[in-house]
Amino acid sequence: MKLSAPKQATFLISLLLFVLAIIVRFAAIQPLLPYVFWLAVASQVVLMIGCAIKGF
**pTM of the predicted structure, to 2 decimals:** 0.83
Query: In which band, very low, low, confident or very high, does the pLDDT at 48 lie, cut at 50, 70 and 90?
Result: very high
Q: How far apart are CA 5 and CA 21, in angstroms?
A: 23
Nearest residue to 32 via CA among 13, 17, 14, 12: 17
pLDDT digits (tens, 9 = 90+) for 6-47: 899 999 999 999 999 999 888 877 787 788 999 999 999 999
